[in-house]
Amino acid sequence: MIIDVETRGAVRVLRWRDGENRCNAASMNRWHEVLAGLETIDGPLALVIVGEGKYFSNGLDLDRFTAHPEEAGPTIEGLHRLFGRLLLFPAYTVAAINGHAFAGGAMLTCACDLRVMRADRGYWCLPEVDLGLPLTDGMKAVVTARLPRTAAADAMMTGRRYGAAEASARGIVEHTAPEAEVLDRAVALAAEIAPKNRTVIAAHKRLLFGDAARVCGWPS
């Protein structure tokens, strides 16, 4: 499971480099391990999350669950906790949506404070209505924590695939950029907030998103 962390000044770039970046037991364990380490950093800090190639994340590893059904429950619990952990992460967070963000991958972007989406290709989508898999309470909580109510409802009810322009118009993402500039733009936006008081940022996150994080089971 490849999740690396790169330092760019006060910004840490978390790179998820595992093909489609599916959510399974191994990836959830690695995510929590990496975030636990980042949470110990003192001083100025902001976090950027990015995938690689054509995928930001393609969501839950349903093929893995078919072969190992006993892993489904613990993986979904770990994903819920990841949403809650990111909602309350004690520093500013930016999702650099380099490619497709589907299902759990799209939800993961909602756990971040800001979203920058690749302008030319890639979709943001909650396809559960087509898959016959209703969102859990934790999934609903993270989707509605930041998205405008009408955007969340449209995404959940229709399974629509949003390109960058429509995602921006609906308030699903705040910024778009050409492929080559997505990460640098995300890092620049994160760096603007990195020097601000992290104790206050953490307190404000608890006020804004504490209820949603508790629905997600965080803190555990």
The whole-angstrom separation of Cα 171 and Cα 185 is 18
The domain that holds 63 is classified in CATH as 3.90.226.10
pTM score of the predicted model? 0.97
Q: What is the pLDDT of residue 12?
A: 98
Alpha-carbon Rg of the chain, whole angstroms?
A: 16
The whole-angstrom separation of Cα 182 and Cα 117 is 7
The whole-angstrom separation of Cα 73 and Cα 217 is 14
Q: What is the pLDDT of residue 220?
A: 80
User: Per the domain annotation, does 28 fall within a domain?
Assistant: yes
What percentage of the chain carries pLDDT values higher than 70? Answer: 100
Report residue 176 as tokens.
């778009």
User: Per the domain annotation, does 220 fall within a domain?
Assistant: no
The whole-angstrom separation of Cα 38 and Cα 33 is 9
Q: Domain range for residue 11?
A: 3-215
Contact 50, 13 (CB under 8 A): yes
Q: Given 52, 70, 128, 174, which residue is catalytic? A: 128
pLDDT in tens, 95-144: 999 999 999 999 999 999 999 999 999 999 999 999 999 999 999 999 99
Active site residue 179: no
Contact 80, 124 (CB under 8 A): no
User: Per the domain annotation, does 181 fall within a domain?
Assistant: yes
Residue 29 DSSP label: H
Instruction: Give me the mean pLDDT over the 214-220 stretch.
Output: 95
| Sheet strands (E) in 58-150 | 59-60, 92-97, 100-102, 114-118, 124-125
User: Per the domain annotation, does 92 fall within a domain?
Assistant: yes
Q: How far is CA 90 from the centre of its chain?
A: 15
pLDDT in tens, 38-51: 999 999 999 999 99
The whole-angstrom separation of Cα 129 and Cα 186 is 31
Peptide bond into 44 cis (omega under 30): no
Q: What is the pLDDT of residue 177?
A: 98
Domain count for the chain: 1
Q: What is the pLDDT of residue 1?
A: 67
